[in-house]
């Protein structure tokens, strides 16, 4: 599927060694600690609302445009250290050149009277994705469907950044904002790295510094091992896969533990099994397979682009695999032979046994597992169930009812007529086989 944001031609993202200021002058990093540039009088800055490892975020008001903005400034203890100062400036410059609906726009970059760099950006009203996940329990339809839709928008932002030659390197729920009106923004480009084009020497040291980069819970193994030359677009694919892992299971891709323990597991590529992580919530195998491929320890075995991963997630959503679900205990009957068929089922966890009763005895027809369906013939042909299906162990199924079937397949039109004709032929053939088998018996 084409993406209009990726089809547009764009200049390579550049990181430079000076900051433009009023009057056409330029301020080099070496003069940041000594030159005093007045904070623009049109900004009214409020107390900080967030604090990171090296900076602070303040709400502010632009009195000229009558709008709220967010002001991010470097901690004063780091402002005199070129490594951190240059990194902060590079973040603002790269973020400012990434113009995309799912990336918060940067308005200005300047230095305050104390020599501390800051930049302003769009003020986002909403909640962080980690809070959103907390409010939507694993296994719920909203978490599965809406969570994937949110992640698809994050993928749009990441794919665009890759198109511009930038990898994010710190994808995690805390760096995603979900707006009150459906907006989704990928935040915090402080660890971003240029993979095409060359930053200036002052910034190259920051982007290519040896050591683990990112957040251990979500970083790719090559990031955890600490050689920046091994980091590319596929490292962000892993981060997106780790986010999808958490959406589906409620757990993190390396499990729980201290930052040191998680970093060690990440470096060793000790990724948890998504199948095991989803045992208690019941998630379709098709979307679990997306996680499995995206979080492969070997980058060559992952999706090679974000767009490939997006296509797989969209196919899952469009395939209706976010349908309502039901759970059944071992031994519980799901459909009864002879009952009217009003729904079809797809198994997403556990196993079922299908059987018919012949001369008072149960005749097992099949044992079915995740990904297999049953009940569709009775639903399409409006006939009684031809067999009983019982849960062999705890089972979770997706439920497809008559209205959803009609909507998805268009069964009220010619498509429905064709499907029913084919189903009737199979039913007639099955009846002939059963009749023949009884005579032979």
Could you tell me if 60 and 47 are in contact, meaning their C-beta atoms sit under 8 angstroms apart?
Answer: no
Q: Is 170 a catalytic residue?
A: yes
Q: How far is it, in rounded angstroms, from Cα 245 to Cα 236? A: 14
- Of 54, 80, 81, 58, the C-alpha closest to 69 is 58
Integer angstrom CA distances of residue 38 from 22, 64, 87, 113, 117: 10, 17, 22, 5, 11
Catalytically annotated residue among 112, 170, 188, 236 = 170
Integer angstrom CA distances of residue 330 from 284, 320, 387, 400: 19, 26, 18, 22
The DSSP-derived string for 299-342 is GGGS-SSHHHHHHHHHHHHHTTTT--EEEE-TT-EEE-TTSB--
* Half-sphere CA count of 158, side-chain side, radius 13 A: 30
Integer angstrom CA distances of residue 114 from 32, 47, 72, 83, 118: 9, 17, 15, 18, 11
- The residues that are catalytic are 170
């Amino acid at each position: 599927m084409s993406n209009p944001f990726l089809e547009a031609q764009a200049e390579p993202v550049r990181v430079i060694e000076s900051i433009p200021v009023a009057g056409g002058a330029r301020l080099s990093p070496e003069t940041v600690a000594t030159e005093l540039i007045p904070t623009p009088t049109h900004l009214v800055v409020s107390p900080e609302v967030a604090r990171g490892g090296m900076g602070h975020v303040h709400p502010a008001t632009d009195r000229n445009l009558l709008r709220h903005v967010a002001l991010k400034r470097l901690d004063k203890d780091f402002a005199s250290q070129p490594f951190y100062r240059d990194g902060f400036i590079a973040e603002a410059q790269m973020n400012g050149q990434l113009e995309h609906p799912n990336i918060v726009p940067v308005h200005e970059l300047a230095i305050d009277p104390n020599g501390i760099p800051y930049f302003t950006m769009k003020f986002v009203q909403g909640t962080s994705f980690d809070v959103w996940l907390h409010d939507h329990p694993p296994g719920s339809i909203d978490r599965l469907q809406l969570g994937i839709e949110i992640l698809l928008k994050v993928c749009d932002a990441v794919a665009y950044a890759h198109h511009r030659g930038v990898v994010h390197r710190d994808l995690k729920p805390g760096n995603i904002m979900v707006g009150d009106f459906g907006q989704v923004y990928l935040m915090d480009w402080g660890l971003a790295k240029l993979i095409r084009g060359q930053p200036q020497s002052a910034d190259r040291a920051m982007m290519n510094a040896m050591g683990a980069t990112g957040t251990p819970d979500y970083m790719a193994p090559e990031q955890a091992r600490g050689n920046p030359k091994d980091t590319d677009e596929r490292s962000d694919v892993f981060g997106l896969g780790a986010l999808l892992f958490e959406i589906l299971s409620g757990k993190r891709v390396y499990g729980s533990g201290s930052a040191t323990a998680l970093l060690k597991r990440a470096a060793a590529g000790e990724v948890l099994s998504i199948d095991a992580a989803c045992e208690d919530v019941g998630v379709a195998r098709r979307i679990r397979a997306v996680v499995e491929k995206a979080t492969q320890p070997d980058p060559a075995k992952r999706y090679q682009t974000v767009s490939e991963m997006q296509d797989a997630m969209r196919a899952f959503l469009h395939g209706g695999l976010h349908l309502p679900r039901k759970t059944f205990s071992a031994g519980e009957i799901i459909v009864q032979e002879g009952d009217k068929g009003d729904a079809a089922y797809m198994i997403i966890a556990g196993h079922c046994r299908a059987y018919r009763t012949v001369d008072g005895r149960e005749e097992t027809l099949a044992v079915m597992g995740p990904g297999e369906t049953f009940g569709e013939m009775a639903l399409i042909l409006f006939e009684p169930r031809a067999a009983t299906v019982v849960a062999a162990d705890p089972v979770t199924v997706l439920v497809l009812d008559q209205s959803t079937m009609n909507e998805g397949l268009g069964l009220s039109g010619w498509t429905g007529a064709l499907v029913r004709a084919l189903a009737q032929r199979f039913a007639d053939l099955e009846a002939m086989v059963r009749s023949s088998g009884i005579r032979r018996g």
